[in-house]
Structure 1
Amino acid sequence: MDISTFLVQCLNSIQYGLLLFLVASGLTLIFGIMGVINLAHGSFYMIGAYLAFSIAPFFGNHFIAMLLAGVALSALFGFFLEWIFFSYLYQRDHLQQVLMTYALILVFEELRSILVGNDVHGVKAPDWLSGGVSLGGIMTYPIYNLFASAACIVVAIGLYLVVNRTRLGMMIRAGASNRDMVRGLGINIRLLYRIVFAAGVALAALAGMIAAPMASVYPGMGGHVLIVCFVVVVIGGIGSISGALIASLLVGFVDTFGKVFFAQLSGIGIYVLMAIILIWRPEGLRSKGY
């Protein structure tokens, strides 16, 4: 493998890992704070991709405005979904949560089939993000992929600042540690849950919107992402955002380079990684702290 090919694979690993982080950070927040095992989280990624396909023609080359509009719509959808459905799951055991959120997957898939159909679609990247950057010789790397990585980094920094440097973040951390004490201090824990859930949905949908121009938009696309994100959450430590970032990048590199060097065994690479980490640290890489 020459240096240009190695650099391309490294960039692919980082880009894939950062997209996983957007989805997994919302999942680890919801699971770590609200205690809900949400199997429908991958569907929010799919909803984001189909949302990009649906509203992109109205925005033309104003791609960032499209992303912002999609995030706002997704957050609003998540806020009301928590209110009408997930707020009733907190006192249920995990088996009921799994069954009910799995039912949501079927509902979302059926609604997607009715509203959009079962065809595979594509989303065109804006003109100002077309083309590639030369990496030496004949190797180029798409500008849009660099934009996707940069956008994910900006969101990751923003998420870190919100959770660790704001009053809302302080309440989120306190709610994860002791929700009864937070409730006793007079904080509206139900509203806090809705904000956290809406943020988790928006992060997953944003990942889907960013990924849509790089890959096809197709039925069931959230299923594989959900499985990989659960691996990320387990490796990083449930409830830890920094752990989710580290685990996402590890999974990105293992999966990408596994497909390059061990194509026939690439499907089990991330699960071997998870097994090794759990043997070493059963609680995950960052069991404490955000």
Structure 2
Amino acid sequence: MGSLGLAVLNSLDIGLLLFVIAVGLNIVFGVLNVINFAHGALYMLGAYMAYACMDNWGMLFWMALAVAPIGVAMLAVIIDRLMLRFVYEREVTDSLLLTFALLLILNESVRLLWGAGIHVIDPPVLLRGTVTLPGGIAYPLYNLFVVAVGLIFLAGLWLLFNKTRVGRIMRAAALDREMAQVLCINTKLVITGVFAFGAWLAAVGGVVAAPMRAIDPGMGDKVIIESFIVVVIGGLGSFPGALLGAIVLGLIHGLGGRFLPEVNLVLPFLGMAVVLLLKPHGLMGRRASA
């Protein structure tokens, strides 16, 4: 029972962190109709900026968690104004190619600035060590913090999209951009804000993940693959789908790593293939209109 409980906790930890990262990718696609292949690089930049804040400028982890995502969001605004705004009205494949090129540029820029080596961030002092949970399960305190962050973002994003004027504006721009303009909504500002918000979410994920994973120039490549698996399983453009897809992938990683370690690497792709065979638009995706 202890082994199963630990595997479920690991699944929840992985799944909620993936949700924070992948929901930004899903929001950008849902509102802007852009498949942002550079999302993983923005996640990586969040981790590197947090490392720079702590190592070069002596900031505490909590300060880096606040500052680094804002820096990535500001960079996203520049990227949107200089590059992405030219492909918003074009085919999705154009944005895919552009963001893939941006991914390569950001990866090489990180190598130039920080080198190709591995960097490490220590968890804050308050979150070091383990805590004993019911059932006698000893679990890292920082991993529980990651679970709490995921739940806070889940609640916060639900409130944003369902209970605030900003959320209604974002949904209106996603459903019909021309009608939103008729209703005097500044869609250009909305587009830039949504892209920056998606980048901010990716960077938050990068900072939160940094104390658990090595920081290196390739760390974003694996995350973007997993994020795409999440949105494909859950359904492109679906907020509940991002949560469901992240939890499914978290269970695949957590339970598969515990009980099927020999094939754990291929299980996410098998899970995605099964979902695509049964529901090509994802578990909670909507069929595109003709």
Q: TM-score band, normalised by the shorter chain?
A: over 0.9
Q: Are 2:11 and 2:250, in contact at CA under 8 Å, matched by a contact in 1?
A: yes
In the alignment, what sits opposite 1:140? 138
Q: Are 1:59 and 1:65, in contact at CA under 8 Å, matched by a contact in 2?
A: no
1:16 maps to which of 14, 17, 41: 14
Q: How does 1:18-167 map to 2 (within 5 A)?
A: 18-57=16-55, 58=57, 60=59, 62-135=60-133, 140-167=138-165
Aligned to 1:133, what secondary structure does the other structure show? strand
1:194 maps to which of 192, 195, 200: 192
In the alignment, what sits opposite 1:235? 233
2:223 maps to which of 222, 225, 230: 225
Aligned to 2:211, what secondary structure does the other structure show? helix
State the 1:92 CA deviation: 2.7
185-194 or 4-13, which moves further after superposition?
Answer: 4-13
Aligned to 1:140, what secondary structure does the other structure show? strand
Aligned to 2:266, what secondary structure does the other structure show? helix
Q: Are 1:232 and 1:244, in contact at CA under 8 Å, matched by a contact in 2?
A: yes
Letter in 2 for 1:17: G
Q: Are 1:59 and 1:66, in contact at CA under 8 Å, matched by a contact in 2?
A: no
2:261 maps to which of 260, 263, 276: 263
Question: Could you list the per-position Cα deviations for residues 25-75 of structure 1 after superposition, in whole angstroms to 9, with x for gaps in the alignment?
Answer: 010111111011211111011111111111124455x43332111222222
In the alignment, what sits opposite 2:276? 278
**What TM-score, normalized to structure 1?**
0.93
Q: Are 2:50 and 2:68, in contact at CA under 8 Å, matched by a contact in 1?
A: yes
State the 1:136 CA deviation: 7.3
206-215 or 168-177, which moves further after superposition?
Answer: 168-177
Separation in 2, partners of 1:242, 1:65? 30
Q: Are 2:2 and 2:136, in contact at CA under 8 Å, matched by a contact in 1?
A: no
Q: 1:163 to 1:136 in 2, by over 3 A?
A: closer
In the alignment, what sits opposite 1:171? 169
Q: 1:59 to 1:232 in 2, by over 3 A?
A: same
Separation in 1, partners of 2:237, 2:95? 18
**What TM-score, normalized to structure 2?**
0.93
Q: Are 1:175 and 1:182, in contact at CA under 8 Å, matched by a contact in 2?
A: yes
State the 1:279 CA deviation: 2.9
Q: Are 1:4 and 1:135, in contact at CA under 8 Å, matched by a contact in 2?
A: no
Separation in 1, partners of 2:242, 2:134? 33
Report the identity percentage.
38
Aligned to 1:260, what secondary structure does the other structure show? helix
Question: Could you list the per-position Cα deviations for residues 195-251 of structure 1 after superposition, in whole angstroms to 9, with x for gaps in the alignment?
Answer: 111110000010010000011101211111101111111111111111101110111
Aligned to 1:43, what secondary structure does the other structure show? helix
State the 1:175 CA deviation: 1.3
State the 1:274 CA deviation: 1.8
Q: 1:262 to 1:181 in 2, by over 3 A?
A: same
Q: Are 2:34 and 2:95, in contact at CA under 8 Å, matched by a contact in 1?
A: yes
Separation in 2, partners of 1:66, 1:101? 26
**Matched residue count:** 285
Aligned to 2:131, what secondary structure does the other structure show? strand
In the alignment, what sits opposite 1:182? 180
